[in-house]
Structure 1
């Protein structure tokens, strides 16, 4: 009888990580993980209590590996450069691990969430120290912002399937990271609200339900929210929700289309009102930051729950997502004509991920000048990408 491989748990972890990245937590079953690793479903339970335990192991082992790479880099000469080089290589090699916690961590129990937050904070602290050693005049506050953005650049590779030859990918990703770390935080005075403005109109019951549903979908995930939950959050009985929406799926689709409309209308406005491509690109970035800051719940649904939609709606929203990214790519390549299309897409996803991640980071999201800061950071990535044209 053949002996059981000693690394079976690692094989299951690797298979699960890729499946979670591609399909989300709810889109993957224990049997899917087993099949991807070439075993039967019951074999998974020899190593894990269930799917949630698999996800916890995936995320915690991923952070452990990230920590090991960080410790090794910090022991070398020029620690900051070594960090960028090492994490770029890790992100390209294991792109399914570097960012899973951003969208899937909510499915863990509180104890594992606490472990991940604690380990993540320790790693961020190492990055901040290395950056401030390299740039002594940089304040802790600004160094923290730059390091968060840099980690988002690395994590962005988990959000798309673009690829280039491995060594080129590592170098290019590292160049984007250096572009952020070498940058400055663009500051602006917070805009004071006007002394008087027209009172906001009272939202309709349908709008109240949509707002309640998108908030719950983002916080818990689509499958863990019931129509009764949505009704309770909006202050009405669950069955009354059906007077406004045919079901939970219709609410999810409405949220997705609402975000899609906002993105495309804003993109069209930014491009049509600009006098030059570089101005249009800056306007596009600024419009995205504005929308995300006003639509956190909608973004969570648009980015994280699309797989739960009916086929027709899912395909349409994926098409809109790709069309929106294509607007950025086209403008970036107009501004930097020597930039190849794959590298342009990698750059755009890095810029978008900075905005997506930092607006969901409590310490960052409360900053008063966040719109200017995020716009500047995203532009720094786009500028860095545009400067790395192929010779």
Structure 2
């Protein structure tokens, strides 16, 4: 009687790159659905592992977000280190930055929108890496423009970063060589911008007390106060981290008086986005009516957008980052309005410069939009005197070559 020896079961080994695979899947998930809209189960499913296996690598979602950002920034800084070492002119640094931004297209958006959800230790770590990154850009700007004051070199370096990472905020697709060419040319034009004089903005004095308002007046303006408070809180903390009671407390309204105006924070978010679109429609119509030709209309549109962004940063910031929290039909409606606005601006730019193709025009409009939105979120940029004039000059240089 013969006996057979049972075959031994194959030993399953954990892939060596499992951690990197998890980080890539998590970065993609966070970029698509946001931090609060993504679960550890979602990420585990995307990788093809169990949630238990995922927790062997990362204790929780917040830790995973931190490592996503640090990993992406570590790779970016290492490549810029190498580029700077091989080219003291700084040009290789700009080329490498654009290449990284197109390869890691979701990372900049993830950094901009989800930094507020990091643990404090990871925030510090991310900021240290960001300082190293921007230091490379300032040195590269200095190599091209040694005469610039420190404030100007710093502002140009931030704006160059915004141009490079702008593809993270749209879905326009082009062959990599064409995309790279457009962005690099925009950066080189930006680099030659003649900025208006700028220094630190002097502090503004405000009266320590406001005259009392009548009860009737307070009731009349209460909806506006609630919308303003909601926009500030959503823009600074994120929609998911804010309750409607937080919004009411910010303006001293509680209980039934709060729900008399808005039944939910989703209603407030919708109203904020409606206001944003109303502003855009108003200044777009004005620019088109007052422009004597396409070039002047593009300039007036840029001028109006910069003014709006500086006056209403919370409306703009909330619309950019939080629209996905609306019910999908509403969210898609506003995304379509936004796309139509970009397309309209791009067509106007094509009228001003007939050599531009539609994709090129859209990429340039997205680039200057990102420059402005990033600037009004940057406390150091906001401390600059005549930031509006500087941003208008940069935008004109990028899209009109003025």
Task: Tell me the equivalent position of 1:299.
Answer: 316
Bigger mean CA deviation after superposition, 283-292 or 40-49: 40-49
Structure 2 residue 137 is matched with structure 1 residue 127: yes
Asked whether the equivalents of residues 73 and 79 of structure 1 are also in contact (C-alpha less than 8 Å), the reply is no
- The CA deviation at 1:54 is 1.4
Structure 2 residue 69 is matched with structure 1 residue 59: yes
CA offsets 1:12-61 (integer angstroms, 9 cap, x no match): 11112122222222222212222222222222211111111111111111
Task: Tell me the equivalent position of 1:269.
Answer: 286
Asked whether the equivalents of residues 229 and 238 of structure 1 are also in contact (C-alpha less than 8 Å), the reply is no
- Counterpart mapping for 1:276-355 below 5 A: 276-355=293-372
Structure 2 residue 248 is matched with structure 1 residue 231: yes
After TM superposition, the score normalised by the length of structure 2 is 0.89
For 2:349 and 2:194, locate their aligned partners in 1 and report how far apart those are by CA, in whole Å: 21
Task: Tell me the equivalent position of 1:106.
Answer: 116
Task: Tell me the equivalent position of 1:220.
Answer: 237
Among candidates 350, 367, 373, match of residue 356 of structure 1: 373
For 2:72 and 2:112, locate their aligned partners in 1 and report how far apart those are by CA, in whole Å: 13
For 1:62 and 1:383, locate their aligned partners in 2 and report how far apart those are by CA, in whole Å: 33
CA offsets 1:158-195 (integer angstroms, 9 cap, x no match): 1011111112222222122222122221348999x9xx
- The CA deviation at 1:10 is 0.7
For 2:377 and 2:296, locate their aligned partners in 1 and report how far apart those are by CA, in whole Å: 27
For 1:100 and 1:383, locate their aligned partners in 2 and report how far apart those are by CA, in whole Å: 30
Asked whether the equivalents of residues 185 and 376 of structure 1 are also in contact (C-alpha less than 8 Å), the reply is yes
For 1:158 and 1:57, locate their aligned partners in 2 and report how far apart those are by CA, in whole Å: 19
Structure 2 residue 51 is matched with structure 1 residue 41: yes
For 1:271 and 1:212, locate their aligned partners in 2 and report how far apart those are by CA, in whole Å: 32
CA offsets 1:124-178 (integer angstroms, 9 cap, x no match): 1222123213322122111111100000011211101111111222222212222
For 2:139 and 2:255, locate their aligned partners in 1 and report how far apart those are by CA, in whole Å: 51
For 1:167 and 1:295, locate their aligned partners in 2 and report how far apart those are by CA, in whole Å: 37
For 1:151 and 1:352, locate their aligned partners in 2 and report how far apart those are by CA, in whole Å: 13
- Counterpart mapping for 1:230-269 below 5 A: 230-269=247-286
- The CA deviation at 1:239 is 4.1
Among candidates 25, 38, 41, match of residue 35 of structure 2: 25
CA offsets 1:221-257 (integer angstroms, 9 cap, x no match): 1111112111111112144310110111101101111
After TM superposition, the score normalised by the length of structure 1 is 0.92
Q: Which runs of 5+ in 1 are unaligned?
A: 194-198
For 2:198 and 2:94, locate their aligned partners in 1 and report how far apart those are by CA, in whole Å: 29
CA offsets 1:280-321 (integer angstroms, 9 cap, x no match): 000000110111111111112100001100123212211211
- The CA deviation at 1:214 is 1.2
Aligned length: 379
For 1:71 and 1:188, locate their aligned partners in 2 and report how far apart those are by CA, in whole Å: 30
- The CA deviation at 1:78 is 4.2
- Structure 2 SS opposite 1:374: helix
Task: Tell me the equivalent position of 1:165.
Answer: 175
Task: Tell me the equivalent position of 1:177.
Answer: 187
Larger Rg: 2
- Structure 2 SS opposite 1:6: coil
Among candidates 82, 89, 92, match of residue 82 of structure 1: 92
- Structure 1 SS opposite 2:45: helix
Asked whether the equivalents of residues 95 and 184 of structure 2 are also in contact (C-alpha less than 8 Å), the reply is yes
